[in-house]
Amino acid sequence: MPPNADDTANSAPEGTVEASDADEAGGASEGATTDAGGAGPASEETAVLDELFAVIEQRRDTLPEDSYTASLFTHEKGENRVLEKLGEETTEVLLAAKDDDNEELAGEAADLVYHLLVLLAMKDMRLADLRTELRERR
Question: Is 76 part of any domain?
Answer: yes
35 against 123, higher pLDDT: 123
Q: Domain total for the chain?
A: 1
Question: Does 113 reside within a domain?
Answer: yes
Which residues, 6 or more positions from 18, have their beta carbon under 8 angstroms from its beta carbon? Answer: 4, 6, 7, 8, 11, 12
Domain assignment present for residue 124? The answer is: yes
Q: φ and ψ at 41, to 5 degrees?
A: -65, 145
Angle at 42 between CA 36 and CA 45, to 5 degrees: 90
Burial of 62 (0-12, 13-18, 19+ CB in 10 A): exposed
Q: How does pLDDT run across 39-94, given as a tens digit for each residue?
A: 445 588 789 999 999 999 999 999 999 999 999 999 999 999 999 999 999 999 99
pTM strictly above 0.75 = no
| Position 82, amino acid | V
pLDDT value at residue 86: 98
Domain that holds residue 51: 20-136
Q: CA gyration radius for the chain?
A: 15
In tens, the pLDDT along 86-119 reads 999 999 999 999 999 999 999 999 999 999 999 9
In this prediction, residues 18-26 reach a mean pLDDT of: 41
113: domain CATH number is 1.10.287.1080
